[in-house]
Amino acid sequence: IMAGRFAVRDVERSRVRRHPQPPFTTSTLQQEASRKLRLSASRTMRIAQQLYEGADIGGESVGLITYMRTDSVQLSREAIGSTRAVIKNQYGDTYLPEKPRIYKTRTKNAQEAHEAIRPTDLTCRPQDVANALDPDQQRLYELIWKRTVASEMASAEFDQIAADIAAADGQIVLRATGSVPVFDGFLVLYQEGRDDPSEDEESDDRALPPLKPGEALTRDAVRPEQHFTQPPPRYTEASVVKRLEELGIGRPSTYASILEILKARKYVLLEKGRFVPEDRGRIVTAFLANFFERYVQYNFTAEMEERLDDISGGRIDWKTVLREFWQAFGPAVDGTKDLSVSQVITTLDEYLGVHFFPETGTGVDARLCPGCNTGRLGLKLGKFGAFIGCSGYPECRFTRALALQVPGGDGKNGAELIGPRELGPHPTTGKPVSVRKGPYGHYVQVELDNGEEKPRRASIPKPLDPTTIELEMAVKLLSLPREIGLHPESGKPVTAGLGRFGPYVQHEGAYRSVDSVEEVLSIGLNRAVDLLAAPARRGANTLRALGAHPVDGKPVAIMSGRYGPYIRHLKTNAPLPRDKTPEEVTLDEAVQLLAARAARPDSGRRKPAGRRQSKAPPAAKPAAKSKRKPRAPVAAAGD
């Protein structure tokens, strides 16, 4: 095959058509925005809400799209007529089908109170409103406009080709399949994205050059490749929404909140656009699957949705539905409330054993405790959550976290810190130095040589990786706080250390921040004196300016505060949401957070403690002198 000559033996052709996709529903809008624009479901819905509420165009607030929470794929007659007019004017009669396309909803339990998501005015093209929208709004509006117009365009046509290619001796026959575009149709404007890019490579729609029987071909390269069956790709936000819709779980308004809860509660990790299950999510799923199996099955939610539809349609009594639900759910709860914690942990340990203790192929029991070599590792529950521990406790105190995130990595679960990691002897005392994990994070520890109760410990700052830290760095951390030298003016010691708010230098109660951990470990006296001589930085630093407030034009910015970043506008401060970084927050989101903060009853009423001063009563005014003569005293009775 390496030296053979090849020619086309036979070519099979068949004309196929590809029809456009219907206009957007809530779920398909979220899917396409995730694939094409890299927007989360919640972000997509917020932008769609803004487009629905309207933009300032020509001095008027104009709603740009129809209602964005809908299951319907139908367009009104006026919208279809306007769309066909746009197609004829911009693309010509060739791209306009003879009859309008009428779509029908195939989604189970669809609620079609609204038409599909479309522009309110099809003649308002994306470039016409670009100046009135921010970049994300403009991109989403363009996506909706193109999808709507393409849904009424002519179908694309392809020649489906299957070509047999034979070697000169006729013993080897290769087959190539693909397609040749004949008429682009709606593809001139819009093509739906795919959840898995590899689907494009395996598709029969791959383009082939024109081939004729008997045509000689030039061999380019021969690459022997072995293919293995791959597991299905992990879910993206788009494929999760698609799957929820297929199973009939939830409503258009719930898809975004479902995804946000999964991320906010750290049940999953979003890695390169795909969901990776976290150990917390595995434990919760294992608990529900073992003790509430009926209620986590796909068909339970879908059937409940049907029954709720029957209630709203008057086909069933709502009391009957509730009665039947509680008759089954009550015993399920009663059957679990008497379980002990140890019974639950044992069940979860057996269910998740394959995940936490995978076979290594070395013949060594994965559950064998490396600390004592006799105990059995298993799932434990402590004050600070679940962990892996030895069955030989308290004689063996070996523990390890379920999983450890490696700082600075690509988001994948890296090497686990299995128990204490010995680094070597301390260069001064000779006592062992080790890396350990506590309830508040990782730290280094050295045993004391004077028989005291507690060994010396030092926390490992975030920039350092506890799985790769070496003895030299551990010794430096254990030396903090360290004395740098004596101040040239006061003669008092200057020290450097790591505090609650980061690295610092200190002299006689005056503190100054140091830029990095590496600097605090090596800073000299001259540099420390210069820092101490500089004025103390008071107040917060500006991390990012967001722009002018739409109401008063005053600046809105993200500040770095003592307890984390926050949003500031005049005298109003709003904390930054935990799931947001300063780089992700937009001006619109900041304005909403500030408005919510200002609307709180206690906003602006709290006064600093210790500054209240009781007001002295106002001095009494001297009595005005009367011009009347004093009356003579009247004698009391009995005088």
Three-class HEC string of 347-372: HHHHHCHHHHCCCCCCCCCCCECCCC
Classify residue 389 as exposed, middle or buried by CB count within 10 Å of its CB (0-12, 13-18, 19+).
buried
Is residue 58 scored above 70 in pLDDT? no
pLDDT tens track for 382-424 = 776 778 888 888 888 787 777 543 333 333 333 445 456 788 8
Q: Mean of the pLDDT values across residues 96-119?
A: 81
pLDDT tens track for 582-604 = 778 888 889 989 988 887 766 55
Q: Is the peptide bond before 481 cis (omega within 30 degrees of 0)?
A: yes
pLDDT tens track for 516-566 = 888 888 889 998 888 888 776 655 567 778 888 888 888 888 887 767 788
One-letter amino acid at 278 equals E
User: What is d(CA 607, CA 112) in angstroms, rounded to the nearest whole number?
Assistant: 53
Q: What percent of the chain has pLDDT over 70?
A: 84
Is residue 14 scored above 60 in pLDDT? yes
Lowest mean pLDDT among 9-18, 472-481, 630-639: 630-639
Neighbouring C-beta atoms of residue 346, cutoff 10 Å: 13
- With CA atoms as reference, report the closest residue to 402 among 450, 346, 458, 356: 356
Q: What percent of the chain has pLDDT over 90?
A: 15
505 φ, ψ to 5°? -120, 150
Does 67 qualify as catalytic in the annotation?
yes
The whole-number pLDDT of residue 638 equals 38
The whole-number pLDDT of residue 494 equals 93
Length of the chain equals 639
User: What is d(CA 317, CA 307) in angstroms, rounded to the nearest whole number?
Assistant: 10
Q: What is the largest distance, in Å, between two alpha-carbon atoms of the chain?
A: 155
**HSE (side-chain half, CA atoms, 13 Å) at 292:** 14
Is residue 297 scored above 70 in pLDDT? yes
Is residue 624 scored above 60 in pLDDT? no
pLDDT tens track for 249-270 = 877 778 888 888 998 888 888 8
Is residue 147 scored above 90 in pLDDT? yes
Is residue 146 scored above 90 in pLDDT? yes
Mean per-residue pLDDT of the chain: 80
Q: Mean of the pLDDT values across residues 181-188?
A: 89
Q: Mean of the pLDDT values across residues 127-140?
A: 88
The residue with tokens 């059957």 is: 335
Is residue 634 scored above 70 in pLDDT? no
Q: Mean of the pLDDT values across residues 347-352?
A: 85
One-letter amino acid at 584 equals E
Q: Mean of the pLDDT values across residues 89-105?
A: 90
Written as six digits, the tokens of 262 are 């999964």
**Where do runs of H (alpha helix) occur along 510-607?**
517-522, 525-533, 587-598
User: What is d(CA 613, CA 383) in angstroms, rounded to the nearest whole number?
Assistant: 44
Write down the catalytic residue from 67, 91, 295, 351: 67
The whole-number pLDDT of residue 145 equals 94
The whole-number pLDDT of residue 509 equals 81
The whole-number pLDDT of residue 2 equals 46
The whole-number pLDDT of residue 582 equals 79
Q: Mean of the pLDDT values across residues 267-292?
A: 86
> Higher confidence at residue 253 or residue 57?
253
Q: Burial letters for 3-36: b for 16+ Cβ neighbours within 10 Å, e otherwise?
A: eeebebbebeeeeeebebbbbbbbbbbbbbbbbb
pTM over 0.85: no
Q: Mean of the pLDDT values across residues 105-112?
A: 66
> Higher confidence at residue 569 or residue 364?
569
pLDDT tens track for 217-249 = 877 777 788 878 878 888 888 888 888 888 878
Instruction: With residue 217 as reference, give the H or E element that holds it.
Output: strand 216-217
